Amino acid sequence: MNREQISESASILWNTWMQSQLIDALPDHCQPADRAQAYAIQAEVARLSGQSQFGWKIAATSTDGQKHIGVDGPLAGRLLAGRAMDSGSTLTLGQNLMKVAEAEFAFRMARPLAPRPTAYEMEEVLAAVDTLHPAIEIPDSRYRDFAKVGAPQLIADNACASWFVLGAKTSANWREQDLSSHSVTAWRNGELVASGTGANVLGDPRIALTWIANELRSQGIGLGAGEIVTTGTCVLPLAIAPGDTIRAEYGDFGTVTVEIA
């Protein structure tokens, strides 16, 4: 793809997002053919937003998540600062197509992990982490049938990013605990509706974090100090609607809530 095609794709996606509209797919002449082209479009979408980058999300780290968007592996997307909020906030769902909430482990980076030729090992990725947080992601897509467009177009569309809710950093000693077996429950209006463990996130949220460090490394991007990385849903995505109160509980790691206006 040339620069003009990248810009055209990004403009279509950003304008579609801002106008609360949907498209079937990007035009054939400016569809990304691979991940490299898709991430280039994604970067341009972020630039067009005029927002600073809050961090990164990983889509499709569970079998359920992969089925939900029609892919066979994870995707990375950017979290925009203007669409990130603290636990207890209220958001307006608007014309959200997916209408689901996801309970996720999120990490804040203390140090950057820059692009390099060799892969990062989990130990050095975790050594670069500052804090662990409970989080809720409320994804969305700009495609009418997001399960059919394929991974490159989904990556270009910011890997279905929309809203993100960050809980307080945990005071528990998370580094000494097995995140793969750690229980997570999701509640809607006081009723338990989903439960799972960290094993639903590529087997372990720490594995997912290592995956995105290497995905971005391979694309010449890297992770920045202070950025949040949310690692994918631990539970089956739960349906949400205006008026709902959503709560995700992580045991001794804390709780995160959001009100849907």
Place of tokens 């055209």: 8
The residue among 159, 157, 111, 166 whose CA lies nearest residue 136 is: 166
CA atoms within 13 A on the CB side of 4: 1
Q: What is the pLDDT of residue 66?
A: 85
Residue 83 has pLDDT above 80, yes or no: yes
68 found inside a domain: yes
Torsion sign across C-alpha atoms 170, 250, 155, 63 = positive
Averaged over 63-91, what is the pLDDT?
A: 92
21 found inside a domain: no
Domain that holds residue 255: 52-260
The one-letter amino acid code at 69 reads I
- Which residues lie across from 89 on neighbouring strands? 258
Q: Using CB atoms within 10 Å of the CB of residue 4, give its burial: 0 to 12 exposed, 13 to 18 middle, 19+ buried.
A: exposed
Averaged over 26-49, what is the pLDDT?
A: 98
9 found inside a domain: no
The one-letter amino acid code at 242 reads P
Place of tokens 């692009």: 115
| Residues in Cβ contact with 232 at an 8 Å cutoff, skipping those fewer than 6 apart | 57, 58, 59, 60, 61, 62, 65, 74, 102, 104, 200, 201, 202, 205, 208
40 found inside a domain: no
What pTM was computed for the model? Answer: 0.96
Averaged over 67-76, what is the pLDDT?
A: 89
Q: What is the pLDDT of residue 63?
A: 79
| Residues in Cβ contact with 84 at an 8 Å cutoff, skipping those fewer than 6 apart | 54, 55, 163, 164, 165, 166, 228
Averaged over 12-21, what is the pLDDT?
A: 96
* Domain tally, the chain: 1
27 found inside a domain: no
Could you read off the pLDDT of 154-205 as tens digits, one per residue?
Answer: 999 999 999 999 999 999 999 999 999 999 999 999 999 999 999 999 999 9
Residue 64's pLDDT band (cuts 50, 70, 90)? confident
> 147: domain CATH number?
3.90.850.10
**Which tokens go with 201?**
């996130």
φ, ψ for residue 256 (rounded to 5)?
-135, 140
With pLDDT > 70 as the criterion, what percentage of the chain qualifies? 100
Question: What span, in angstroms and rounded, lies between the C-alpha atoms of 232 and 69?
Answer: 13
What ranges make up the beta strands (E) of the chain? 53-59, 75-80, 84-86, 89-91, 100-109, 129-138, 163-166, 183-188, 191-197, 228-233, 238-239, 245-249, 255-260
Averaged over 88-92, what is the pLDDT?
A: 97
**What is the DSSP-derived secondary structure letter of residue 190?**
T
Q: What is the pLDDT of residue 67?
A: 82
28 found inside a domain: no
Q: Cβ distance 234 to 195 under 8 Å?
A: no
3-state helix, strand, coil in the chain (%, to 5): 30, 30, 40
230 found inside a domain: yes
253 found inside a domain: yes
Question: What span, in angstroms and rounded, lies between the C-alpha atoms of 244 and 238?
Answer: 11
Could you read off the pLDDT of 202-246 as tens digits, one per residue?
Answer: 999 999 999 999 999 999 999 999 999 999 999 999 999 999 999
Residue 131 has pLDDT above 80, yes or no: yes
Taking the CB of residue 122, how many other CB atoms lie within 10 A of it?
14
